Amino acid sequence: MYCITTFAPILPEQLAQKLKGLRFKISRQRFEWSQEGHLFAIEPFIHQPRGKEKAYRVYANGLIDGISYMFDMSLGGVSPSISGVEYVLKYPSYTNEHWQREFTKRPSFRMVDSRGIYEKDGVFFILVNDELRIQLRPPKAQKLNLIQALRKVDSFREELQPKEYDLFSLSEREGIA
């Protein structure tokens, strides 16, 4: 699931009113749209900053173009700034040790911290509770472009996603019986 951290000059109450027209389910802690297994949810931070900009986390699964479309429909009109894009990879058979072995096999990944933080091309890979978190943060005083950030994180997700082969289904696909 993708997690996008964003700041926008709109109060949560005003955003809730705006999202009602887009058929979001509105609750006190979350604004949620879901259909056919796809989720797009906006959660205001519990402790909001005092300034004009308010903080939100957007959780979404699905295709990048769909996430970008929903983000534009829900928050695009208020000029949000994106301060982070994250993806959580979790596989029951993979522990922190499995992921660390995977990173040490690849010389292009640089170890930042021996407890499980790696970096490649400005993207950080953090191991927490047998999950791999792929994080992209902007350089200081800059903002991320949503679609470019999602694509960059997604390319690493595809690269690191464990390949699982089922020998029995392989023969069926190849026509070998």
Domain span at residue 165 reads: 2-174
Residues 13 and 44: their CA atoms lie apart, in Å, by 10
Nearest to 80 by CA among 60, 62, 56: 56
Distances (CA, A) of 175 to 166, 168, 170, 171: 15, 11, 9, 6
Number of domains comprising the chain: 1
Strand order in the sheet with 31-35: 25-26, 31-35, 38-44, 54-60, 2-8, 81-89, 131-136, 123-128, 117-120, 110-113
Nearest to 56 by CA among 48, 46, 45: 45
Write out the chain's pLDDT in tens, 177 residues.
999 999 999 999 999 999 988 889 998 789 999 988 899 999 999 998 888 999 999 999 989 999 999 999 999 889 899 999 999 998 888 899 999 998 989 989 999 998 899 999 999 999 999 999 999 999 888 889 999 999 999 999 998 886 665 556 555 555 554
What pLDDT shows up at residue 167? 58
What pLDDT shows up at residue 138? 93
pTM of the model: 0.85
